Amino acid sequence: MKPDFDIIIIGSGPAGVSAAFPLVKAGLRVLMVDGGKQASVLLPEENFLDARANDAEQWKWMVGEDFYALKMHDAVSPKLRAPTVSYVFNQFERHNRIVGDDFITIGSLATGGLSNAWGGGVACFSKDDLSAHNFPVSEMEASYANVAMRIGISGGIADDLSDYFGLDEWAQPPIELDKLHAHLLNRYSFSKHKLAPLGFKMGRARVAVLTADTEERQACNLLGNCLWGCSRHSLYSSAYDMSALLKHENFTLQSGFLVEGISRKTSLWAIEGKFLPNGERKTISATKIFLAAGTLATSRLVLQTLKHYEEVPLLSSPTAAFMLWVPRLLGVPRTSSASIGQLAFTLPLDGDVTAFGATFGTTGIMISEILRRAPLKRPNGIKLFRNLLSSCIVGNLFLPGNLTKASVRLQASSKLEVVGKYTNDVMPLMNEAELKLRKAYLKLGAILLPKSFTIGSAGGDIHYAGTHPMKDTPALGETSLLGEVLSLEGIHIVDGACLPILPAKSHTFMIMANADRIGREIANRFVDSSL
């Protein structure tokens, strides 16, 4: 029986497209399927501050014609309240039959997946990190380069975080800092000796944002609309890779197809599902299937195929947010600037734990988002931040994913239940982090505003991984070093579900590089077998 395709890739997010390129370039017949959700709200094209002052129809992209932002008032992240990216998250849980129990579960059915609404943070895993993966670091070098050159990253400059990020050799120059971040970085350059006892290190954030034009994407020009969507395509989304993939005759994209199950067809595998627009059902066969649907959706499909109903561990990073005030710059005018991470930091904590975080300008963030976390009544908060906001910076902090005790379990109904909470170590570590950050930034001339350090809910990081980790000798439900699920020969996981560890640093770049590595190796094996 001849398969319909050589490889089927489920998901068009960063992992899916990263695996697709080497497979397609090797001449294999590749089908990619995704939920097909597309944007329906036009993105602002002028800078955020001008749009707020002059755009008579700004309510359409800020509130939504269906009052989307108001309906999502209780959402954990401001991204989940932005009408321009509402399609990214729309109906993910319902269609994938995922239920969170005191754990936030977020994913995407959109073409491009969650990369349509991410912050763009990128980092290589260190040699110590990679030791948990049990394959040579040399195998990742080519993949790091492939991904970095394809997506475009900026921030490459020699600083105290160059080794931590590990990708400067492929990076474009950094994005221009706003006045507040430039002030902090300047103070840092003269205050390192004072910060040494805290172990606090600061440098430019490395982000998947262009600072030089390419053929199809434009360089960042500091519009400040990063939260709402980049009309210039400066901030990478894997949706932008579709045009390049579709130039290959051996690549097929079927958007709007929801995979409901995977089954064995003699020596082949098949996906079974339906087209979301009309409910038409279809079964498609292939020699191999690559799962890149996102950790939660991928896990449900794997566990369902295995008929495995036991609890499976899940990695998820505890996170916190905070606000800094720079008194020296009180009254500075708000100017258009990038509203993604501008500076990043690392912070050693007790128990050999390293926290990672980044700081952002407040341009592009609605004052209502600030007021949600302010320990003041709304009228008082408005009065305070009317004068204070232009001299404020917001930040986030992440801890390693093993500090969340979370798991997934397939129910008899084929729903995936996700439960989790932070371990008992998290609160002491967060208290330590808050104290050290307060001390560190004070030495840089910034005050961590009282009660602004807020610990997020479990799952709110959206950094999910590790349900089917790669192992030298995998057990049931685990995967080989090529992401192949034990006892499901021919099914490979290429998204975060196969990562065995989840450091505090941004993990999407590592997922993409690992998917590229797996894709290249499988492509080579296909070619060798045909000789």
For CA atoms 43, 45, 47, 52, give the dihedral sign: negative
Burial 89-110 (b: 16+ CB within 10 A, else e): bbebbebbbbebeebbbbbbbb
What tokens does 323 get? 């606000």
**What confidence tier does 45 reach under pLDDT thresholds 50, 70, 90?**
confident
Cα three-residue angle 414-3-10, rounded to 5 degrees = 40
Minimum mean pLDDT range among 84-98, 135-149, 368-382 = 368-382
Nearest to 496 by CA among 294, 301, 303: 294
The pLDDT of residue 28 is above 50: yes
Domain count, the chain: 1
**What confidence tier does 251 reach under pLDDT thresholds 50, 70, 90?**
very high
Nearest to 466 by CA among 499, 493, 418: 499
Minimum mean pLDDT range among 24-28, 57-61, 106-110 = 57-61
- What would the mean pLDDT of 145-171 be, rounded to a whole number? 96
**What confidence tier does 59 reach under pLDDT thresholds 50, 70, 90?**
confident
The predicted pLDDT at position 51 comes to 87
Contact indicator for 366, 252 with CB cutoff of 8 Å = no
**What confidence tier does 75 reach under pLDDT thresholds 50, 70, 90?**
low
Contact indicator for 338, 224 with CB cutoff of 8 Å = yes
Minimum mean pLDDT range among 6-15, 290-299, 373-382 = 373-382
**Strand, coil or helix: 327:** helix
Please provide residue 251's backbone torsions phi and psi, each rounded to the nearest 5 degrees.
Answer: -110, 130
Nearest to 168 by CA among 142, 194, 205: 205
The pLDDT of residue 516 is above 90: yes
Nearest to 490 by CA among 297, 197, 290: 290
* Helix, strand, coil percentages, rounded to 5, for the chain: 35, 25, 40
The predicted pLDDT at position 526 comes to 87
| Distance separating alpha carbons of residues 342 and 523, to the nearest angstrom | 38
The predicted pLDDT at position 498 comes to 97
Contact indicator for 24, 245 with CB cutoff of 8 Å = yes
The predicted pLDDT at position 188 comes to 97
Give the strand pairing for 416-422 and 98-101.
parallel
* Residue in the structure block whose two tokens are 């979301």: 276
The pLDDT of residue 428 is above 80: yes
Q: Which amino acid is at 212?
A: A
| Distance separating alpha carbons of residues 63 and 77, to the nearest angstrom | 15
The pLDDT of residue 74 is above 70: no
485 burial (CB, 10 Å; 0-12 / 13-18 / 19+) is buried
**Strand, coil or helix: 163:** helix
- The CATH number of residue 498's host domain is 3.50.50.60
The pLDDT of residue 73 is above 80: no
Burial 330-354 (b: 16+ CB within 10 A, else e): eeeebebbbbbbbbbbbbebeeebb
- What would the mean pLDDT of 346-355 be, rounded to a whole number? 97
- What would the mean pLDDT of 359-369 be, rounded to a whole number? 83
Mean pLDDT in the chain? 93
| Distance separating alpha carbons of residues 85 and 133, to the nearest angstrom | 34
**What confidence tier does 418 reach under pLDDT thresholds 50, 70, 90?**
very high
The predicted pLDDT at position 108 comes to 96
**What confidence tier does 62 reach under pLDDT thresholds 50, 70, 90?**
confident
Residues in CB range of 189: below 8 A, 6 or more apart: none
Model pTM score = 0.95
The predicted pLDDT at position 376 comes to 66
**Strand, coil or helix: 77:** coil
The pLDDT of residue 311 is above 80: yes
The pLDDT of residue 506 is above 70: yes
The predicted pLDDT at position 373 comes to 66
Residue 253 to residues 5, 10, 236, 247, 319, Cα–Cα distance (Å): 12, 10, 20, 11, 36
Longest Cα–Cα distance of the chain, Å, equals: 74
**What confidence tier does 434 reach under pLDDT thresholds 50, 70, 90?**
very high
The predicted pLDDT at position 531 comes to 44
Residues in CB range of 200: below 8 A, 6 or more apart: 345, 346, 347, 436, 437, 440
* Domain region containing 246: 5-530
296-82-153-35 Cα dihedral, nearest 10 degrees: 40
The predicted pLDDT at position 530 comes to 62
